[in-house]
Amino acid sequence: MIGPTLFTIAGFPIRTFGLGVALAFLLGLGLARRQAKLEKINPELVSDFTLYAVVAGVLGARLWEVAFTWENYAVNPIRVLAIWEGGLSIQGGVLGGILVGIWFAKKHQVSVWKFADIVAPGLILGMAIGRFGDFLTGDDFGIVSETFGVVYPPGTIAYQVNGPVPLVPTVLFESIADLLIMGVLLTLRKRKPYDGVLFLLMLIFYSVARFLLEFLRGDSLRTFFDLRTAQVASVVTVLIALGFMVGRKMQNKSRQAC
């Protein structure tokens, strides 16, 4: 079941990666539309935003990956466009989505923070499904482990790089962590003290989980001083999110005092 092709229908191959992306899009969108209804926001607005977010997310994910692995593309830069070969960073994708989300909310005169809370559960659900798809594809594999390892079959990237050895399924663990984060966000929706807190908590929880899981990754991108790119990005994200949470909390208190 693990591999680039999940199954075939009448001789037509159903690609694992493509099916994962489609399910992530549809289920994430469905949850975001439901949150919009609960917040008295037109769900069609969320649908329109998703189209922009997908494009911005793919561009951000690809540019992030290329920026830290330019040596793989320097000889043949046209390969930058070959996203079907793999090489998409989820953190870059989130950044791209955030930027276009700010623009979209302001364009439609919707509170940026309220809109961010609406899409947060759907976003983390989509990330969870996408990561499970990565696991089935055999991508984003972990370090060698006889205890928690999975032997990926021929045809997967993990097999091509490591051969028939047991590797920690880090993206499967990340998928589970994402689902737990989604549950927390949905539980806190009615009790949030101010708009934006759900989205900021999502960024913090995900960044902490990603920071820890990077110790088990076997294919991490590296940056200056050979540090893991995802861990540096996670620390920066947590600090920025905490700063916004403090600012939003103080702003909320000042409004209540008026």
Classified as helix, coil or strand, 13 is strand
pTM for the model stands at 0.87
Q: What is the pLDDT of residue 10?
A: 74
Please report, in range form, the residues annotated as the binding site: 131
pLDDT digits (tens, 9 = 90+) for 147-198: 889 898 888 888 888 889 999 999 999 999 999 999 999 999 989 999 999 9
CB 220 within 8 A of CB 182: no
Q: What is the pLDDT of residue 136?
A: 85
Q: d(Cα 107, Cα 104) in Å, to the nearest integer?
A: 5
How many Cβ atoms from other residues are within 10 Å of residue 51's Cβ?
A: 11
Q: What is the pLDDT of residue 78?
A: 74
Q: d(Cα 90, Cα 70) in Å, to the nearest integer?
A: 17
Q: d(Cα 10, Cα 54) in Å, to the nearest integer?
A: 30
- 108: its two tokens: 């439609």
Q: What is the pLDDT of residue 257?
A: 62
How many Cβ atoms from other residues are within 10 Å of residue 117's Cβ?
A: 25
Q: What is the pLDDT of residue 29?
A: 94
What stretches in the chain show pLDDT beneath 50?
none
How many Cβ atoms from other residues are within 10 Å of residue 70's Cβ?
A: 11
CB 121 within 8 A of CB 129: no
**Cα dihedral across residues 215, 69, 89, 111: positive or negative:** positive
pLDDT digits (tens, 9 = 90+) for 4-21: 777 777 777 777 777 888
Q: What is the pLDDT of residue 64?
A: 76
